[in-house]
Amino acid sequence: MGDEHRLGTKELRRRIAPNFTPRALSTYASIQQRVILAHLRRWLDAATATAGEPLRLRVPCRDMNLETSQTVFVGPYLADEAREEFARDYNDFNVGLMAMPVDVPGSAFRRAKRAVARLVRTLGRCAGESKVRMRAGGEPECLMDYWMQDTVRELDEAAAAGSPPPPHTGDEEIGGHVFDFLFAAQDASTSSLCWAVSALASHPDVLTRVRDEVAAIWSPGSDEPITAAQMSEMRYTQCVARQVVRHRPPGPTLPHVAREAFPLVEGCYTVPKGSLVFPSLYESSFQGFRDAAAFDPDRFFSDERRGGRGVPEELPGVRRRGAPVRGEAVRAQPPGAVRGAVRDAGGLPAARHGRVRRSRVHPHHRPQGRLCRLPQAALRQTSFVLATC
């Protein structure tokens, strides 16, 4: 079973790889900018209509991120009516996540369970439509298209040889994987964007520096998209995005199963093997930083903050990990991406504190690696929106 699982995972990663080539990342960046700018303009119009009254941004941020995800993942395959139904189902799913897991008729958990099934079916239909379009020679317009290009070719080759369809090519299975992408991309970005707005409102000096830096390079009124070269010049803006996800982690905890018994407190308590452990990622983000409670983007930026490591203070987990097609992602540097966006967000560098494995949780170690991974979409989205505000 273990070998079969590893082989299946390897095959799935191979199929996902075309979604993250430089060309694909460029397509997604263009979509993100278009959708985000449209929402920002609507927010400004709403603020004007209410005579300057403050607007609550949590729900608008969520709606913006959901539309961004929908358009990046399945682009032309969701009509307006389908998008509205999709948004309602995704909201039911979110509510169910926070409810007691009691699967009885009428419960939030049951509604969430049914909503997920509908969402997966909808995304499965999008996969089927994408296969038809890619088989007809259409140009890719979203993640689903890039995924289906090679999938269609392999399906056709298998059919011509009289072989069964390759694994991981069924419409509904693909829909399930895309739903996982959607879930990973959605809520963390919404959280970080709301905290970014709050932080900038509370720190006008930081807001002024961000605006000055962006205005010297790019103007939202120009109707020109931000290029990768321009974004790489917005160093302080990127540092603000890093500080947001450090100061207010979008994922405050992440459950893991202990692979072995581990003494959490010597002589007092040992975590039994097989226990479900909820490490505090929020707490880990305040360890290893000078004046950790302060919102200070300069900790990632200023030469004066260079310490014995020879680099400015860094986000937790600067260690690289073997993400799919990591090299292509680094070379592409799409607009809105920040350096290190394909790295883990975990503990201090391994050379200083060592790696804390998934099976071990210690109060004096900061969780690292997969135990403490900040969603990378939060960094990308926050960095871009900061540049466009």
Per-residue pLDDT of 285-333, as tens digits, reads 888 888 889 999 998 876 665 444 444 555 554 444 444 444 443 333 3
C-alpha torsion 30→248→214→56, nearest 10: 80
**pLDDT score at 366:** 33
| Global model pTM greater than 0.85 | no
Phi/psi at 276 (nearest 5 deg)? -90, 120
**pLDDT score at 7:** 59
More confidently predicted of 257 and 365: 257
Question: Using alpha carbons only, what angle is made at residue 237 by residues 47 and 382, rounded to the nearest 5 degrees?
Answer: 60
Max CA distance (Å), the chain: 67
What's 264's DSSP letter? E
Phi/psi at 359 (nearest 5 deg)? -85, 0
Task: Work out the pLDDT band at 59, boundaries 50, 70, 90.
Answer: confident
List, in order, residues 6 or more apart from 177 with CB less than 8 Å away: 12, 16, 168
Please check whether residue 243 is in contact with residue 386, taking contact to mean a CB–CB distance below 8 angstroms. Answer: no
DSSP string for residues in 204-241: HHHHHHHHHHHHTT--GGG-PPPPHHHHHH-HHHHHHH
- Cα separation, 193 vs 250, in Å, equals 9
pLDDT over threshold 70, residue 112: yes
Instruction: Give the model confidence (pLDDT) of 188-237 as tens digits.
Output: 888 888 899 899 999 999 999 999 999 998 887 777 778 777 888 899 99
Query: Domains of the chain by range and CATH?
Result: 11-197 (1.10.630.10), 203-389 (no CATH)
pLDDT over threshold 50, residue 144: yes
